[in-house]
Amino acid sequence: MTHEIAVVPGDGTGPEVVAEALKVLDAASDLYGFELSLTRFDLGGERYLRTGATLPGEVLDELRESDAILFGAVGHPEVEPGILERDILLRLRRELDQYINLRPVKLHPGVRSPISGVTPEDVDFVVVRENSEGLYVGKGSFTAKNGPFEVAVQESVNTRFGVERCIRYAFDLALTRPRRHVTLCGKTNVLKYSWDLWARVFDQVAADYPNVDTGYAHVDAACLWMVEDPSRFDVIVTDNMFGDIITDLAAAIQGGLGIASGANVNPAGVSMFEPIGGTAPGFEGTGKINPLAAIGAGAMMLRELGEVEAAAAVESAVASVAGELPSLRAGEMGATTSEVGDRVTRLVRESVEVSA
């Protein structure tokens, strides 16, 4: 089986961590009997500065034809912040209708959480963030701009279609997880329109999944619980903005951005897998950046491609290496970027030797 993978290393430390992910994926494909056919795209700051183009139409067409996209990060010191993120990352999400942002959150054994007393058993949940609507649709207005009575309105757009497909994805995901629990995270007590719709659709979808447990948390309470008792959560489904916020909190409790992988998913189309940490410009070219998040994103990609056994082997190798490192922070790992990639690769190889 050959999978067509589009690789977008991007800017900053993106290329370094993507290289390590590819190293591991290459080993996994050898061992588990499938092919990854890689096509690289130089989207990012350099290309923009050189050509003025962010995401040319022909590149987009090629990405559409791929089976999955492995993404590093975009953002360049010489490009005004926001341009690349908006014109590449956000545009790709929209063009490819990646309506789910998926963030698995796991505290691996041996990794120190900044929250004392929290154990790996406590932290194993997934945030399903609606990725196409809400406050992020860019609708709004100024009235009397720059005047003393200026009013800025930012609108949150929530469609039944968009909300339902997101919630349905969360329930389907819960069916594959051992606790079979979905928490709706919102703000029904104050945001009476958008969250009224979310709550009604949530109940209607839940009716189709009677063997999945459900719960509700206001987003403020969810933040509190994520710190005080993260074991409450299995699958959390939420809107675009709350998801943006709580996934960073979640990354912190699992040990930081060095281990935080995510995916922008179109279940029926092309999905994109990325470390969520960004370009980390201070560490570019130093060999100090942690590649585990990118490698973890690679494992998520394998799972989405149906290479379940290979995905499990990579996940388990990432978990082991994460637990062995003195810290997951860039520059404090006690190993170089490439050495960390090598250690994961070795464990993936050993996983086959052990089970053979």
Partner 1 sequence: MTARTLFEKIWDDHFVTGSDPALLYVDLHLVHEVTSPQAFAGLEQAGRKVRRPDLTLATVDHAIPTTSRSLGIRDPQSKKQVDTLKQNTEKHGITFFGLDDPRQGIVHVVGPENGYTQPGKVIVCGDSHTSTHGAFGALAFGIGTSEVEHVLATQTLWQKRPRTMSVDFDGSLPQGVAAKDLILGMISQLGVGGGVGHVIEYRGEAIRGLSMEERMTICNMSIEAGARAGMIAPDETTFEYLQGRPQAPKGEAWEAAVEYWSRLPTDQDATFDTAHTIDAAGLAPHVSWGINPGQTAPITSTVPDPEQFTDPVEKDSVARALRYMDLRPGTPFVDIAVDHVFLGSCTNGRIEDLRMAAEVVAGKRVADGVNAVVVPGSMQVKAQAEAEGLADIFQSAGFSWREAGCSSCLAMNDDVIPAGERCASTSNRNFEGRQGRGARTHLLSPAMAAAAAVAGHLVDVREWS
The residues carrying an active-site annotation are 136, 187, 220, 244, 248
Q: Is 308 in the site for partner 1 (CB under 8 A)?
A: yes
Alpha carbon 131 to its chain centroid, in Å, reads: 11
Q: Is 214 in the site for partner 1 (CB under 8 A)?
A: yes
Q: Is 164 in the site for partner 1 (CB under 8 A)?
A: no
Q: Which is nearer to partner 1, 143 or 204 (CB)?
A: 204
Q: Residue 135: CB partners within 8 Å, gap ≥ 6?
A: 154, 155, 156, 239, 240, 241
In angstroms, rounded to a whole number, what is the distance separating the alpha carbons of residues 36 and 311?
14
Q: Is 209 in the site for partner 1 (CB under 8 A)?
A: yes
The single residue among 42, 61, 155, 203 that binds partner 1, judged by CB under 8 A, is: 203
Total length of the chain:
356
The single residue among 175, 190, 221, 224 that binds partner 1, judged by CB under 8 A, is: 175
State the Cα torsion 58-64-70-72 to the nearest 10°: 40
The single residue among 171, 202, 242, 283 that binds partner 1, judged by CB under 8 A, is: 202
The single residue among 83, 191, 312, 335 that binds partner 1, judged by CB under 8 A, is: 312
Window 114 to 133, contacts with partner 1 (CB under 8 A): 121-122
Alpha carbon 72 to its chain centroid, in Å, reads: 11
Size of the site for partner 1 (CB under 8 A): 29
Q: Is 94 in the site for partner 1 (CB under 8 A)?
A: no
C-beta of residue 311 within 8 angstroms of C-beta of residue 100: no
Q: Which residues pair with 245 in a beta bridge?
A: none
Q: Is 178 in the site for partner 1 (CB under 8 A)?
A: yes
Instruction: Please choose, from the candidates 69, 210, 99, the residue with its C-alpha nearest in 3D space to the C-alpha of residue 161.
Output: 99
Q: Which residues bind partner 1 (CB under 8 A)?
A: 121-122, 175-176, 178-181, 188-189, 196, 199-200, 202-204, 206-211, 213-214, 216, 231, 308-309, 312
